[in-house]
A and B are shown apart, each in its own frame.
Chain A
Amino acid sequence: MEKRAVYAGVSTPALLLIPQLAIIVIFFYLPAGQAVWQSFQLQDAFGLSTIFVGFENYRDLFTRPEYLHALGVTVVFSALVAFFSLSIALLLAVMANKQIAGAGVYKTLLIWPYAVAPAIAGVLWLFLFQPSMGMVARWLQWAGIDWNPLLDGTHAMILVVLASTWKQISYNFLFFLAGLQSIPHSLIEASAIDGAKPMRRFWTIVFPLLSPTTFYLIVVNVVYVFFDTFGIIDAVTHGGPASATTTLVFKVYNDGRSGGDLGSSAAQSVILMIIVIALTAIQFRYIERKVNY
């Protein structure tokens, strides 16, 4: 789509574009390019000389068990958060979409956790599950569960999944609700006339029509878990115990902060870039088929 009436000239648009272009060159292209360049280099222990090593940093990464472990943790973590936050949000959205009194109030009451910072969400849930005095932790201990996320990797994972899911439900809920509202009522009625019961109508009509929203949300949720949950992990578990909750982003941060291997750290960043680009590409493929909000 193009405008019919436009202005001519080169210097004015150039002037208008300078602030944005300057900022993205300096703070986006330069660092991203540098990460790519460094990922092909090897630096000596004193940082005095560097040599070009091709893909060696990458090969090296994929032979390291701790990197593969972080990759596995990230995959499990994203799958769990995406599954739980999507299912719960869908259930709530379907309920809020029924013509009941106060549907708007429920919406307001459910969407605000979006505004809570991930790190704060983590702290709130840590407080509930803190083994010595957290309220839910004490319930669990009364129930005979030896709850301790500071020592038990599975418990730590459960805790970060809970906090991440809690925060993400609001976002998914909003998009599911918008998706549900865009489904033509006549379709539901037609199927009801054919004798389909509510459950059957949901799985054969509503759910398939929602699938563009669902696919879109799966991608967004995975990106969320990859990047935004850093705050939750850093505040709640520091990636521990014994790296049980160390995700790829947390590892980049931890390895980079402790200094050391610049090339390897850059290679980790580049792998993350490739993952995001791939996910974004998938997301754009689905955008054309997406329902209109």
Chain B
Amino acid sequence: MVERRTFFSVALPHAILMIGVLIVFFPVWLAVVASTWDPATIINGQLGLLPGPYGAENYSRILFSGASSSTREPVWSMMTNSFVMAVGVAVGKIFISLLSAFAIVYYRFPFRMAVFWFIFITLMLPVEVRIFPTYKIVADLGFLDTYQGLIIPLIASATGTLLFRQFFMTVPDELLEASKIDAAGPFRFFKDTLLPLSLTTMAALFVIQFIYGWNQYLWPLLITTRDSMQTIVIGIRKMITTQDALTEWQLAMATAVLALLPPVIVVVAMQRLFVKGLVETEK
């Protein structure tokens, strides 16, 4: 601290940060509150800031039997789909990028740099800009309404490869030399030396990709038509009908809370890995 600490110089930051935290929490808190009331209270605009007595009823209804008017699919099964998709995207990306980064960093082969650039370019274009041609390819492969259709096209990018390449570059050469002296082959080196060293990087990438996969919207919206393949983010979208009278807000809000909880828990519980992943993948 450069200045003398006055009451003002300590209280002001606290006040501003608290207002920030309140604003950030407000919409989520209200969703939690709404998810514990009955429809009449909400429709009449009598919703206060405190939870009501209908929480257990609302949550058990959407989790196991589904909201009635819009979709009959229980939220439980939507959450399973989201979970499979998020883990699939995270694991798939880590798997393919570990292998390709290992090849690019630890092997000398013709066109190595060309291959690197070929992968690198995919960093630039998000799936949204090539959405319909990708849809057509996925349809031709018969992947509509399948987990592989949800997952594989989202793996097609270079973020993981670059991250692992960057990390492998920092691994001392002596380790490989030592491993060669011990007559260990490349797979042995990969499995026994490189993988254990990469665990933190893998975990950080997992956190980021899990959130990315769980929160996908446009892609699942396009390629899933059967209710049983819906992810939870798509499911909630279908509960909000344009005729407001038909929207069961208490159920929609309960679903929203369930949809945002898993990724938020991941961020809060693994904050260090999350920050590491965020800063390093985006660089």
Contacts and interface: CB of A to CB of B under 8 A. Distances in A.
Interface of A: 1, 3-10, 12-14, 16-17, 19-21, 23-24, 26-28, 30-32, 34-35, 38, 88, 91-92, 95-96, 98-100, 102, 106, 108-121, 123-128, 130, 132-133, 135, 138, 166, 169-171, 174-175, 178, 188-189, 192, 198, 201, 220, 223, 227, 230-231, 234-235, 238, 249, 252-253, 256-257, 265-266, 269, 272-273, 276-277, 280, 287, 293
Interface string B103-135: 111111110100100110011111011111110
Contacts of B112: 13
A125 to B, nearest CB: 6
A6 B108 contact: yes
B194 interface: no
A119 B237 contact: yes
A132 B45 contact: yes
A194 to B, nearest CB: 11
B186 A7 contact: yes
B99 A16 contact: yes
Contacts of B236: 119-120, 123, 235
Given A13-B109, A17-B100, A118-B215, A135 B271 contact: no
Given A23-B152, A118-B215, A280-B123, 16 more contacts: A3-B105, A3-B173, A5-B176, A19-B96, A20-B96, A20-B161, A27-B155, A28-B122, A99-B1, A102-B14, A120-B259, A123-B252, A126-B240, A198-B3, A252-B129, A287-B283
B264 A115 contact: yes
Contacts, number: 289
B73 to A, nearest CB: 17
Interface residues of B, number: 104
Interface stretch (B52-60, B61-69, B274-282): B274-282
- Judged by DSSP, the binding face of A is helix
Contacts of B157: 24, 28
B153 interface: yes
Contacts of B23: 166
A23 B155 contact: yes
A189 B216 CA distance: 46
B218 A115 contact: no
B266 interface: yes
A227 B34 contact: no
A235 B131 contact: no
Contacts of B183: none
Which 10 A-B residue pairs are closest in the complex by CB-CB distance?
A31-B133, A117-B215, A231-B217, A115-B263, A13-B103, A16-B103, A13-B107, A95-B13, A27-B156, A124-B27
B177 interface: yes
A17 B103 contact: yes
Contacts of A252: 128-129, 131-132
A236 B122 CA distance: 31
Contacts of A111: 267, 271, 274-275
Interface of B: 1-3, 9-10, 12-14, 16-17, 20-21, 23-28, 30-31, 34, 42-45, 47, 95-97, 99-100, 102-110, 112, 115, 118-119, 122-126, 128-134, 136-138, 152-153, 155-158, 161, 169, 173, 176-177, 180, 186, 211, 214-218, 221-222, 233, 236-237, 240, 242, 244, 249, 252-253, 256, 259-260, 263-264, 266-268, 271, 274-275, 278-279, 282-283
B133 A30 contact: yes
A166 B27 contact: yes
A37 to B, nearest CB: 9
Given A119-B217, A230-B128, A108 B271 contact: yes
B266 A98 contact: no
Nearest to B166: A1
A257 B218 CA distance: 12
A30 B141 CA distance: 13
Given A6-B106, A20-B99, A117-B217, A28 B123 contact: no
B107 A7 contact: yes
25 contacts: A10-B109, A16-B100, A17-B103, A19-B95, A20-B119, A24-B157, A26-B137, A26-B156, A30-B137, A38-B133, A98-B13, A109-B21, A112-B24, A112-B268, A127-B253, A130-B244, A174-B278, A178-B279, A223-B126, A231-B215, A265-B132, A266-B133, A273-B130, A277-B125, A287-B283
